[in-house]
Structures are given as C-alpha cells and as structure tokens.
Amino acid sequence: MSALRDKILNTATDLFQTRGINSTGVDTIVAVAGTTKMTLYKYFHTKEGLILEVLNKSQQDFQSWLDNKLNTNSKAPADKIKQLFDFIEEWITSPSFLGMGFIKASAEFPNEENPIHQLSSKQSREFRQFISKLASEANIKDADGLALQLSLLFEGAVQAEQMKRGSGAIKYAKKAAKLLIDGAINQ
C-alpha cells in the first residue's frame, strides 16, 4: 500500500540482520529509511509489532521464492525433494543472503513465552512441515523423520553461513541430504 511503510519494513529487515534486533533502535531505522518516528509508529504500533512483521515478510519472501523455484524446475514429486537443497544452496550463496530471520530472532528472544520467540518457533515448524509434505508426496515412508533431519541440515548450514560468510557448509549439507533422501526412498 504505502511506499513509506515498505521502505521502513525493508530497512528494518536489513538492519536487524546486519546489526541484530536488540542492537537496532527505532531512531536508527527511521534515519536510514529517511523518515521520522511519527510515521514509523503510525504504521507499526510498537517495535515488537515491527519485528513480527519483519519476520513474517522475510519468511513469506523465502517461501514464495522457494515455491516458485520448485514449481518451475521440478515436475515429479520425487524430483522436488531431490532438488530442494540445490535451491537452498542458491538461496544461501546469493550475495543478498544475510541470514535467516527466525533463527537469529529465536536466539535474541530465548524466552519461549515471548511472542517473537513463538513466531520464530512456528516458522521453523512450518518449514519442517513443508519439507515433510514434499517427502510424503514423493511416497517416502517416514516423511516426518526425513523432514526433521533435512531441516537440521538446513538450519545448521544457515547457522554456519551466518557465522562465517562463504563457509561452504551448504555443499556438505547437500551431500548429506542426498544420502539421507536416497536412504529414505529405498526403504
């Protein structure tokens, strides 16, 4: 709707990723976005509300990008899960990759009763369920089990890349994923 609202949302997304959420004040956000606090608080009632929206949008963007990749490149269900980590590699090694929002947010807000932590946890769970759906469509028996293992590799690789850009961890995650997928298919 509003271009200014989007600008604030995108600026906050970038600053949260590069400087941390708690270390980024609203004054910094509005200064970089080129607006004022009054406008920020018009669109986002609290900083927590802004954080939640940033997390939601980030995850939606990632999921849409991945859905599109899977739907345009893969046809058979078995192909989709086999190509999953190819696209994840593309995502992680992209120059614009700054980390995974829900992974960082859950670390900054460790209390399980905190709304930000809860959203992070939900996003992690939903992504795991997404993988599980891919697995069960490929007729894999223990779809949930494989999905959990693949999500561990995914989150581990993201973590490694957040710690050291260009770590190359995703290459080995891919190999491990292939082994786990092949093992689950031939069962």
Of 43 and 172, nearer to its own copies (C-beta) is 172
**Interacting residue with its own copies among 180, 181, 186, 187 (CB under 8 A):** 180
Write down the least CB distance from residue 163 to DNA, Å.
23
Residue 37 or 165 having the CB closest to its own copies: 165
Task: Looking at residues 82 to 121 of the shown chain, list those that interact with DNA (rule: CB under 7 A).
Answer: none
25 binds, among its own copies, DNA, none (CB under 5 to 8 A by kind): DNA
| Identified binder of its own copies from the candidate list 53, 66, 155, 185, rule CB under 8 A | 155
The interface partner of residue 59, options being its own copies, DNA, none and the CB cut-off 5 to 8 Å by kind, is none
Q: In angstroms, what is the C-alpha Rg of the chain?
A: 18
**Residue 101 near residue 9, CB atoms below 8 Å:** no
Per-residue contact string for residues 36-55; x = within reach of DNA by CB under 7 A: xxxx-xx--xxxx-------
Provide, rounded to whole angstroms, the least separation between the CB of residue 40 and its own copies: 21
Q: How many residues bind DNA (CB under 7 A)?
A: 21
